[in-house]
Amino acid sequence: MNPLITIRRDLHQIPELGFQEFKTQAYLLAYIQSLPQERIIIKKWRTGLFVKIQGLKPVKTIGYRTDIDGLPIEEETGLPFSSSHQARMHACGHDFHMTIALGVLTHFVANPINDDLLFIFQPAEEGPGGAEPMLKSEEMREWMPDTILALHIAPEYPVGTIALKEGLLFANTSELFIDLKGKGGHAARPHETNDMVIAACSLVPQLQTIISRNIDPLDSAVITIGKITGGTVQNIIAEKARLEGTIRTLSPESMKKVKHRIEALVKGIEIGFECEAVIDYGSMYHQVYNSETVTREFIHCIEQDPEINVIECTAAMTGEDFGYMLKEIPGLMFWLGVDSTFGLHHAKLNPNEAAIDVAIKVMTRYISYKGNLAIE
């Protein structure tokens, strides 16, 4: 079996949540330390890693970022290498992402280029967000790359397909939590209470008017309330209710406008239902915006391979905290086709492992081109 497939399956069995990736970090570290160490420098950062490969004649640094955390999902694939951690799964392909990064790293340990390479193994992409604090770390500041690259698996594309576009690729995203507190009481005496189930039910359709009436119809934004909880039993009027959801926009300006309108509507609920309300935006991710220069260069480099199908995709409402890194460093992210019947964050996601070699081939080709491959 291809050793990289073994690595992927090992990692798939040990998914861990954000900033709890202790087994994952240990596994990555053990593998990297098994390679020749002459040009490798490793620094830990919380549960992540920075790994620098020194170039032969460095002029710049090329960064490659992979995420390493899993999701709180009970796996239902039935695979012999399914998750060994209860209610934890690599349902977003981060086991693939890590394996590809290790494959690319291994290649350049054996095949040096002129420029330095910085591999960033980032925790907590799924939450609470590891890219922004990692970007601000002393380690990153010391080794700040001039260009940065990343990929994300795409179940909807066949193996061999690379999908990307210049400019906006992924949306601005924010979590949304709204807690309402009124006055509970007996179901037979509603006039003595402030019912937070009614308040919550009134708020949800009001939130949807933000998209239909406050956002330019030629722009795009989404508010999703995915969970509502309230009350205790059927014959007691609810004192508390909680709404949980997400906001997604195609521009930072629209995100500000959406939040401003949410706050105004929630203030109206407070007044109208004589209750208290607290809004928490949780984790917020900056848009993924691909550098036009780097994207064109990347496409020109890889489309010369007849085995790779490069297509232009549309922007997605997907959230990715890699956007914080692209905000400061020119670079790109692309979709890697993995041909899975089930999509991202699904309990039965099963990407085609043939895509691992495709991604390594694409990345090593471009990085070699970008980093002035040394021929001895």
Among 16, 21, 67, 69, the one annotated catalytic: 67
Q: Alpha-carbon dihedral of residues 208, 214, 216, 222, nearest 10 degrees?
A: -30
Q: Which amino acid is at 263?
A: E
Using DSSP bridges, classify how beta strands 48-53 and 40-45 pair: parallel, antiparallel or unpaired.
antiparallel
Q: Are 289 and 277 in contact (CB under 8 A)?
A: no
- Catalytic residue chosen out of the listed positions 16, 69, 75, 126: 126
For residue 120, give every residue at least 6 positions away whose Cβ sits within 8 Å of its Cβ, in sequence order, or none.
48, 49, 50, 51, 63, 64, 65, 66, 134, 140
C-alpha neighbours within 13 Å on the C-beta side of residue 210: 25
Q: Is 180 exposed, middle or buried (0-12, 13-18, 19+ CB in 10 A)?
A: buried
Which CA distances in Å does 290 have to 143, 294, 324, 344? 21, 8, 12, 21
Residue 329 contacts residue 367 (beta carbons within 8 Å): no
State how far the Cα of 165 lies from the Cα of 97, in Å rounded to an integer.
Answer: 20
Cβ-contact 177, 241 below 8 angstroms = no
Q: What is the DSSP letter of 176?
A: E
- Residue 223 CA to residue 168 CA, distance in Å, equals 19
126 is catalytic: yes
Instruction: Respond yes or no: is residue 376 known to be catalytic.
Output: no
Phi and psi at residue 276, to the nearest 5°: -105, 145
Question: So which residues are the catalytic ones?
Answer: 67, 126
